[in-house]
């Protein structure tokens, strides 16, 4: 849904105000970040930093206009990084302290069907807690198993998903079971 002209104007004023007010900024990628997690991060940073999200084309246009008005500003570098699902965290405080606050709110997201895995997923060998009737599920994923004490046990560590690979339905289902 497109934004109204007045909302765009408010956004432009806010972003330009933040670029004037703050001397430092983090660019944060927010793929697979829920609204509650983002809200918790904003609450923790309150008073020390400000988080601003927006549409990439709108952010780029606003930064471009700001750089035309203030040619000496290093903000032009921010225009290049407005790709993908990103936002800005503006601050005048200690970058290390703000970074710690941002990283403390980082939580691993469960693998969902169709997303691209940011890191490899390795399932360790050992008991799975699954009953012996589910061995066919592991066989379809070509995972070597044996039955020990009434449960399926994986024989080897298995790299289930490689970094940059799309997660398929059976991989996501297995991770849910484990």
Strand order in 145-148's β-sheet? 126-127, 151-154, 145-148
C-alpha to C-alpha distance for 174 and 32, rounded to whole angstroms: 19
C-alpha to C-alpha distance for 160 and 121, rounded to whole angstroms: 6
| Residue 131, both tokens | 């009953």
- Rounded Cα distance, 166 and 169, in Å: 10
Selected residue with higher pLDDT from 28 and 114: 28
Place of tokens 């070597």: 144
12 alpha carbon, distance to own chain's centre: 25
pLDDT in tens, 83-138: 888 999 999 988 888 888 888 877 776 777 877 877 888 888 888 888 888 888 78
130-168 pLDDT, tens digit per residue, is 888 888 878 888 888 888 888 888 888 888 888 888 888
φ, ψ of residue 90 in degrees (nearest 5)? -95, 140
Please check whether residue 87 is in contact with residue 30, taking contact to mean a CB–CB distance below 8 angstroms.
Answer: yes
β-bridge mates for residue 28, sequence order: 87
Phi, psi of 79 (to 5 degrees): -65, -35
Q: What is the DSSP string of 49-90?
A: EEEEE--HHHHHHHHHHHHHH-TT-TTHHHHHT--SSEEEEE
pTM summary value: 0.68
């Amino acid at each position: 849904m497109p934004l109204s002209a007045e909302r765009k104007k408010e956004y432009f004023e806010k972003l330009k105000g933040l670029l004037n007010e703050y001397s430092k900024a983090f660019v944060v990628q927010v793929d697979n970040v829920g609204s509650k997690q983002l809200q918790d991060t904003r609450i923790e940073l309150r008073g020390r930093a400000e988080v601003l999200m927006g549409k990439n084309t709108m952010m780029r246009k606003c930064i471009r206009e700001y750089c035309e008005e203030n040619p000496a500003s290093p903000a032009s570098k921010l225009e290049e990084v407005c790709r993908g699902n990103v936002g800005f965290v503006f601050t005048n405080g200690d970058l290390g302290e703000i970074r710690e606050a941002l990283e403390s709110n980082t939580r691993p997201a469960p693998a969902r069907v169709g997303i691209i895995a940011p890191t490899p997923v390795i399932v360790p060998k050992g008991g799975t807690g699954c009953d012996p009737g589910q061995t066919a599920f592991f066989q379809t994923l070509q995972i070597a198993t044996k039955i020990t004490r009434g449960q399926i046990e994986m024989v080897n560590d298995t790299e289930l998903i490689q970094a940059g690979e799309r997660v398929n339905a059976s991989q996501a289902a297995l991770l849910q079971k484990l």
